[in-house]
Structure 1
Amino acid sequence: MEVVEIRFGIFYEHQLPRPWDQGEEHRLYKDALEQVEIADRVGFDYVWEVEHHFLEEYSHSSAPEVFLAAASQRTKRIRLGHGIVQLPPNVNHPARVAERIATLDLVSDGRVDLGTGESSSSAELGGFGVRRADKRSQWEDAIDAVTRMFVEEPFAGWESRYVQMPPRNVIPKPLQKPHPPLWVACSRRETIHFAARNGIGALSFSFVEPEDAARWTGEYYRIIESDECVPAGFAVNPNVTVVLPMMLHEDEETAIDRGIDGAHFFGFALAHYYGTTPHDPGRTNVWEEFQERRAARGFDRDQIIANAEALNVNVGSLRGAVGTPDQVADLVRRYETAGVDQVVFVLQAGPNKHEHICESIELFGTSVLPRFTEGREEREAAKAERLAPAIEAALARRAPARKVPPGYRIDEDAELVRARRVRRGGRPAGLRPALSLVRDEARSTARRRVQQGLFRLLDGRSDAEIERRFGPRAQRVFFAGMARQYDPSAAGGFAGELEFRLSRADGRTTVWTVRIANGRARARMGEAREPALTIGTGTADFLRTLAGTTNPASLLMDGKLKLRGDIELAPKISEMFGGPSPY
């Protein structure tokens, strides 16, 4: 793997665990702005700010453009990254995205990076009425429209299933030409491929080890340089970023004491909102649940001890970059060798203290960052020169900017009539589309019932109790239901057999096979003939993993989860069979 230049960023969810005192949110934002000022001064390259809605405690960051605008006036050089803007039109109309991004680019003197995504949490999708099955196609539709709004003058209009807009000159235009660099949120291998096919940067939130990241970056750049790459925008942004929790101190044990609870809360709260855990708005206390259940869900504080020779991102529990400057520098070097272009650190997480975050940022600037700056510009230039022919060829495959028909004039009455006609045409008409909608809604309702039932089965019960309730008869019903919930759109074209080997405390093992072919899944008891992937684990751990209440990485590290075959299939199994995945 070619060693590339590496950049550094800090990442904000604006986490605020309960209890909340008066003024806590105000202090949270003011502290974050002070931290960004320090990061700018010591040499960090990016600040990334997420957009989330309704995810109390996990993310109080619903208007990143406002925070980044404030940061732009308190900094001089750090780039301002949306990580991410949610593009489904029910959340953000494409014209409003284009206007806000261009304005921020102007007031920041051209320092904006536009990260985009779809969201995947039930709280957000349901809150804005976005159907899970449509969110990817909505992203593809919206990113095309937004980038055209940046470059077309005037914008030539839009008619799609999701957005209808007549020609308008969308102003202002961004300072960066043709537009700010584009990124997309990624949580698994298929979305890394998706980013490369669209010629945009990959923001990876999967806490992947450096050695695994090497495979991802290799595949990403192979696609960037192939005919598969058809840019979503009017420029190509070939970059791969990984996100990690971080806390830095010269003494390893102090770094752990200051930062590991924040790292673990970040992972726990992520699983809370993107798994099947019930949530009552305004009443569920995620921080209390974390304190009570962290160890059982794969975030065991006792698993993280000092005196590590080298940092592994996941070792028993999520650790990330919590350690000494030498340990973190070694971890970054491994990512650099793996071809990763940017490492972004989450410091503001859980109960992490403002003063400790500021100390960590300062220490990184003096003790880690200087080790990676020598020769950076030369390596960046060499990378740009190497990719230039492929980028030129990719942009030639992108449909060009359009022109408004000659003589077009704004006519409110005619445009409203046309919009109504397009909306009628975009709605399902006739029996088959209507049945499709009914089927999708029925599937969604069934999925919620299965998830609620699964949570009730597991909540507060021991392994032995779960095994008694989930014997062969219950397993037959479960795997049949799992096959019915199969979603071909989440399978990435996979066809073959998945084998599940579920063990019990008494030594018995039950084997099930799910066969996927022709867009359908069928389950049967017994071994697979040619399994693409075999998953071996305890019955209780299997159910907790599907429910999102146990961290599979921790099971893998502890030897409680064994994978044989194509292990790249493992992370997407939950989503293939009706469950959500992060971002």
Structure 2
Amino acid sequence: MRFGIFYEHQLPRPWEADSEQRLYGDALEQVELADRVGFDYVWAVEHHFLEEYSHSAAPEVFLAAASQRTRNIRLGHGIVQLPPPVNHPARVAERIATLDLVSGGRVDFGTGEASSAAELGGFGVVRDRKREMWQDSIDAVTRMFVEEPFAGWDSPYLRMPPRNVIPKTVQKPHPPLWVACSRRETIHLAARNGIGALSFAFIHPEDAAAWSREYYRLLASEECVPAGFAVNANLAVVLPMMCHEDAEEARRRGAMGAGFFAYALAHYYGPSGHVPGHGDIWRDFLEQAPELRGGDPLGGALGTPQHLIDLIGRYEAAGVDQMIFVLQAGPNRHDHICESLELFGEKVLPVFAEGREERERARLDRLAPAVESALARRAPARTMAEPYPIDEEAELARITRPRAAVPAPGDVLAAARRNARRGGRRLLARLVANRTDEELARWFGPAAQRLLFTLMARSFDPARAAGFRGLIEFRLGPRATWTVAVSGDRARARLGRARNATLTLSMPAADLLRILAGTSNPAALLVSGRLKVAGDVAVASRVPEMFGAPSPY
């Protein structure tokens, strides 16, 4: 088991003139302390335009500063956004290599696609093509690390002539690769690409065990074709953390930050209608989600050293390779974070240190045959048959030539469905506004329910179901229960309970309407107990995406 700390650089309003400067200064002190007490990793995210939730737009700069104040801790991008409209692949390769040089070879290269509307729309990234962009870019970037010169690229997302992309990394063939994951299918994606899985799903140990088994099974199968030129077999789990000798004090210090983290996450990755420069997520959190303030909505590690030892032991037994902790969240205080890091280093880290290196060597030895087989399936680095002279005029002509505008299959239909859903959501939002549970329950009778679930089934998108087949049961109050059966590329809705439902969602009918209208926060409903989930929690996280809503990560 390895241990890391994670930074979104959260900054709830109100802000002062030096708020961001103090935020970064405090974070660097925390990283320096984490290195001193024995943490293995610091991870910093790349996000853009997500006010209050994440002021971390240039993690490579923050990590470079951290590299000069630390000796041993590894510097993790968690993650670099790879779609070329956000980051040109050559610039990514150059920044990663430079950071690897100035840190003495301590970089881990985490990657991702981005998913919030604020970021995708801000950079002009088409949501339905961001996965293809990620796959294309990671192939190009890893070749830039190892090819001398890089033999060039011509894809729908990147045109680049041959160039020797310098500098080169200290770590050979390149730093370890990771990808951000929030659902079971992205865990599968990581395994099939032979890269580490950075799970941001805040899963419990029992769910982590299933994910670990699937990850390592796929990584050892013929389906694994590495995205890079080395395999990084690792599964990491992220949790909020605050450690104190008194359990109630640990919760008091960390619960508000964990609650704000959950609320702000739902704000940007749901139908928030965010207004840049005019929102106040902290105020909304205090007013609209009181149930999130004193609890632990993300199932975090808020407690005594012994509580954390027991919890981490369960994750270790489940096959998790790294625990990454979020301490800097919401209004969490700098001095409390530092005290927590000190106590964790004194009383928790030593418990897991004994025999760790031997266990890691044994794990890598077990994986070695699978890794060797996987790398044999990876297309090798390219070499150019003859030197390539730079010809500016000819290169510009090739790069700027127009492409045929051929829409991807289903793009037109998907756009029409999105427009129809937006109009329906606006209408539904007007209907549910300022109405009580009783009023909505009366309006949402059998006929309205039948229409709603029929439309939901028709909106099913098999491309976003990741092969899911099964029964999803919706229990609406004491009487009405609907089942949506997903089979292949179709979904059907019927009145009645399901036998052996894969997932059961129980809530008042009024809350289902509010969720569909975008006026209720599912995370807040879950924490308050108005929404209950039974069955496959991983399926629950992608239900909105399967039936038409955008998904996180």
TM-score, with structure 1 as normaliser: 0.89
The answer to whether the Cα contact below 8 Å between 2:81 and 2:87 also exists between their aligned partners in 1 is yes
Q: Deviations over 1:533-581 (max 9, x none)?
A: 44443213434555484446974894852535x5542221111112233
1:66–1:488 CA distance, 2 compared to 1 (3 A): same
Letter in 2 for 1:109: G
Q: Deviations over 1:237-269 (max 9, x none)?
A: 000101111111111121111111001000110
1:296-311, aligned counterparts within 5 Å?
Answer: 299=292, 301=294, 304=295
Q: What is the match of residue 465 of structure 2?
A: 491
Find the aligned partners of 1:51 and 1:220 in 2 and give their Cα distance: 25
Q: How many angstroms does 1:212 deviate by?
A: 1.4
The answer to whether the Cα contact below 8 Å between 1:16 and 1:60 also exists between their aligned partners in 2 is yes
Find the aligned partners of 2:93 and 2:475 in 1 and give their Cα distance: 50
The answer to whether the Cα contact below 8 Å between 2:467 and 2:488 also exists between their aligned partners in 1 is no
Q: Deviations over 1:182-223 (max 9, x none)?
A: 000011111111111110000011111112111111111111
Q: How many angstroms does 1:227 deviate by?
A: 1.1
Q: What number of residue pairs does the alignment pair up?
A: 552
Q: Deviations over 1:79-107 (max 9, x none)?
A: 00000011111111111111111111111
Find the aligned partners of 2:28 and 2:250 in 1 and give their Cα distance: 23
1:149–1:522 CA distance, 2 compared to 1 (3 A): same
Q: Of 366, 379, 403, which residue of structure 2 is paired with 1:424?
A: 403
Instruction: Note if 1:441 corresponds to 2:415.
Output: yes
SS in 1 for 2:292: coil
Q: How many angstroms does 1:374 deviate by?
A: 0.5
Instruction: Note if 1:171 corresponds to 2:141.
Output: no
Q: What is the match of residue 308 of structure 1?
A: none
Percent of paired sites with the same residue? 65
Q: Of 285, 300, 308, which residue of structure 2 is paired with 1:328?
A: 308
Find the aligned partners of 2:122 and 2:219 in 1 and give their Cα distance: 35
Q: Deviations over 1:37-95 (max 9, x none)?
A: 00111110000000011110000001101111111111111000000011111111111
Find the aligned partners of 1:329 and 1:554 in 2 and give their Cα distance: 30
* Segment of structure 1 superposing worse, 95-104 or 549-558: 549-558
Q: What is the match of residue 357 of structure 1?
A: 337
The answer to whether the Cα contact below 8 Å between 1:537 and 1:562 also exists between their aligned partners in 2 is no
1:81–1:54 CA distance, 2 compared to 1 (3 A): same
1:35–1:201 CA distance, 2 compared to 1 (3 A): same
Q: Deviations over 1:373-420 (max 9, x none)?
A: 010110011011110111000000011111224243211222222223
Q: What is the match of residue 132 of structure 2?
A: 137
SS in 2 for 1:424: coil
Q: What is the match of residue 537 of structure 1?
A: 507
Instruction: Note if 1:463 corresponds to 2:437.
Output: yes
Q: What is the match of residue 106 of structure 1?
A: 101
Q: Of 239, 261, 278, which residue of structure 2 is paired with 1:283?
A: 278
Instruction: Note if 1:156 corresponds to 2:151.
Output: yes
Q: Deviations over 1:290-346 (max 9, x none)?
A: 001114xx6252xx4xxxxxxxxx6xx334111111111111111111111110110
TM-score, with structure 2 as normaliser: 0.94
1:103–1:353 CA distance, 2 compared to 1 (3 A): same
Instruction: Note if 1:249 corresponds to 2:221.
Output: no
Q: Of 9, 18, 23, which residue of structure 1 is paired with 2:18?
A: 23
SS in 2 for 1:116: strand
* Segment of structure 1 superposing worse, 523-532 or 100-109: 523-532
The answer to whether the Cα contact below 8 Å between 2:289 and 2:524 also exists between their aligned partners in 1 is no
The answer to whether the Cα contact below 8 Å between 1:541 and 1:550 also exists between their aligned partners in 2 is no
Find the aligned partners of 1:94 and 1:72 in 2 and give their Cα distance: 23
Q: Of 522, 532, 535, which residue of structure 2 is paired with 1:561?
A: 532
Q: Deviations over 1:140-173 (max 9, x none)?
A: 1111111111111111111111111111111111
The answer to whether the Cα contact below 8 Å between 1:263 and 1:319 also exists between their aligned partners in 2 is no
Find the aligned partners of 1:451 and 1:562 in 2 and give their Cα distance: 24
Q: Deviations over 1:456-507 (max 9, x none)?
A: 555655432332343333333432332343222210122454343322xxx4
Find the aligned partners of 2:524 and 2:362 in 1 and give their Cα distance: 36
Instruction: List runs of 5+ in structure 1 lacking aligned partners.
Output: 1-5, 305-313
1:110–1:462 CA distance, 2 compared to 1 (3 A): farther
Letter in 2 for 1:570: A
Q: Of 227, 241, 244, which residue of structure 2 is paired with 1:232?
A: 227
Find the aligned partners of 1:572 and 1:184 in 2 and give their Cα distance: 18
SS in 1 for 2:312: helix
Q: How many angstroms does 1:517 deviate by?
A: 4.2
The answer to whether the Cα contact below 8 Å between 1:260 and 1:319 also exists between their aligned partners in 2 is no
1:498–1:192 CA distance, 2 compared to 1 (3 A): same
1:35–1:300 CA distance, 2 compared to 1 (3 A): closer
Instruction: List runs of 5+ in structure 2 lacking aligned partners.
Output: none
SS in 2 for 1:318: coil
Q: How many angstroms does 1:128 deviate by?
A: 1.1
Find the aligned partners of 1:206 and 1:181 in 2 and give their Cα distance: 21
SS in 2 for 1:154: coil
Letter in 1 for 2:36: R
The answer to whether the Cα contact below 8 Å between 1:72 and 1:107 also exists between their aligned partners in 2 is yes
Q: What is the match of residue 393 of structure 2?
A: 413
The answer to whether the Cα contact below 8 Å between 2:505 and 2:531 also exists between their aligned partners in 1 is no
Find the aligned partners of 1:456 and 1:289 in 2 and give their Cα distance: 20
Q: What is the match of residue 58 of structure 2?
A: 63
Find the aligned partners of 2:442 and 2:465 in 1 and give their Cα distance: 32
* Segment of structure 1 superposing worse, 18-27 or 516-525: 516-525
Q: What is the match of residue 474 of structure 2?
A: 500
Q: CA RMSD in A?
A: 2.3
Letter in 2 for 1:64: P
